[in-house]
A and B are shown apart, each in its own frame.
Chain A
Amino acid sequence: MCATQSATAPLPTRRSCPFDPPPEYERLREQEPVSPLAFPDGKVGWLLTRHEDVRALLADERFSSDRLRASLPVRAFRGRPEDFGPRSGMLLTMDPPEHTRYRRMLTRYFTVRRMRALAPRIEQVVADHLDAMERGGPPVDLVSAFARPIPSLVICELLGVPYTDRDRFQGWTSTLLRIELEEDEALAARDALHGYMRDLVAAKRAHPDDALLSNLIARDDGEDPEVDLTDEELSGIGRLLLVAGHETTANMLALGTYTLLSHPGQLRALREHPEGIERAVEELLRYLTIVQFGIVRVAREDVEIGGRSIRAGETVLASLAAANRDPEHFADPEELDLDREPSQHVAFGHGFHQCLGQQLARVEMEIAFPALLRRFPTLRLAVPPEQVPMRDDMFIYGVHALPLTWDRPSDQGS
């Protein structure tokens, strides 16, 4: 086969199967694992598709997370420059030591122990939504009835955001995660979300509660700017956690359910052995890799990766989806194997920025999937698979809706 060495192409985004990344990644990983990439802003950078290279990049401090210097992999709203600047609270796009300061403040709220302590409340929330689904009867859109409200309610309670405001902020957050978005629409959503969160921070200063935002305010000593957070910082942290808490687990729950329903043998085994849910969740994370366009980094200096010279200032895109299907690291990577041995999947990223909320996501999924399967033993798609609207147009992959049906007890004669 004739290798198209050094042909600079845009990021492959066309999937041939809803559960698999674009097939072009496989060719790139085999033939050109560090390949020149044409970014939508006209700049040329690099695309990494091997697991080893992706992990190395994300752990390499010669690369910066600074969003202001990086090109974005797809045409998308960048935000206003001050959204990512110093003391903006937007730790996702910061480097040490600024990132470290925020991360050390926040990690205590997302430890394994703390997230496990939320399990009884999450079980209750899941049961409430299953009850409502059962009362309403089929068909049901799993996204609006289950997958979105559960993580939304949980992150709202954790942060201290009124869940009753959800129609407002869910609209803004989903707008901001769309690609190919018009600038004025993006700015309107951005400004609305900023205004909402600033007002909320002011309300927490006036009337604190027991949740995270009030806790962050309560640690102020009024003197040390390293400790005290400004309203802008609190608002930035609040926006990041609210968006991240909404759009990630929600999409894993809906897309994960669709995946399970499309793999009946695997689903049957999981129903028979629900204690295997921990491995199953890790495998769904690997297999689906909903951060579909990957993570960008900017070289601070000239660096060599896989024999290619990356110049200072160039953007490198780590494809998490390609890395998670690398046969050098995963046996039969194209197979969904819910009993796969623990592996170094990069669905949560890698390095200092590895997902802050990952333990929350795990607990939510480990509770929600088995409860859903237990409640509806005959759960199935209510439409032909080709009618399930996929989120190819969103930063976070998944389904826009998942119409499901099941046999009611009366239908089954039980």
Chain B
Amino acid sequence: MEEKKTKLLDVSKTEWIILASAIVMPFIFDFSPYIQGLLIFILLWVILGSSWNLLAGFTGQVSFGHAAFFGMGAYAAAIPMLHFKISPWWGLLTGGLAAVILGYLLGVLVFRLRGPYLALGTLASGEILRLVFGEEEWLTNGHVGILYMTTWVSKYPYYFIALALAVCALISVKLVMKSKAGFYFLSIREDEDAAEALGIDTKKYKNVSMAISTFWAGTAGAFYMIYMGFIDPEVVFALHNISIITILVGIIGGVGTIWGPAIGALIMVFVQELFRSAIFGIAPQWVSGLHALIFGVLVIIVILYLPGGVVGDWKLLLKKLKLSKSLEVSK
């Protein structure tokens, strides 16, 4: 048998090419601020999607409340600024940590639950935080939100920061999944009780997965605050716009695959903008209201025909495309 040397981090050629083009692209093309903004949002969803995917896709602990950690990170950046004039840039450090602490505390409660009950528990957690941050005005400014004059007018610095964060998130997932912890996550996903019999401290490793996942969700939240310059509870703790979209990004891209959330983020932002702009203004205006519907249909198609997502069922997808092509030819 051919013995392949195990490197700490296997980076394929394709991955190098993607990274290189992501770095070089802004220098070659003169993107409009609109496109720049979309690229930043794609990267933001890559971080959030990878975060969810580690916990739900690899460890099997499906969260319907990732907005809780995203929002926590955003407020961890914003609250010290509001009260003590501390730069929200510190949020890139503290946002992740604040989300990890929140994740640990919520974990104590929700990890007693399994499957759909866990999903409902996390969903409730997210909603509770949204309400609490809306009500506690002395701390959070309530529904008025928190405003911050962004550091740069140009979007490019944000693009590169988001890119660096996304790359770090992907690398961390890749490294973890090659380690003991990664194997333990997968074992917990497949059969929690059998995993215990193999000597796996399932409680501990669910918390480890939660910690890494919430760290990236919180960091993404802090970045959002710094980049957008405005947050309120309805935006950063949103159930459908954050928690649910995070899940959809994961499902469309491929649950339990490293690159799934990245592809999912790309598709999600593309579809969203395609319809929001009424297919670049070609279609009548009412089409712009369809983006949520179209995205829902897309998810149903993926679940029915590509249960592993675009990345997980890549070969199946190619086969299906080829098949339809050859059918056309034969006609």
Partners in one complex: no
Q: Which residues of B contact A (CB under 8 A)?
A: none
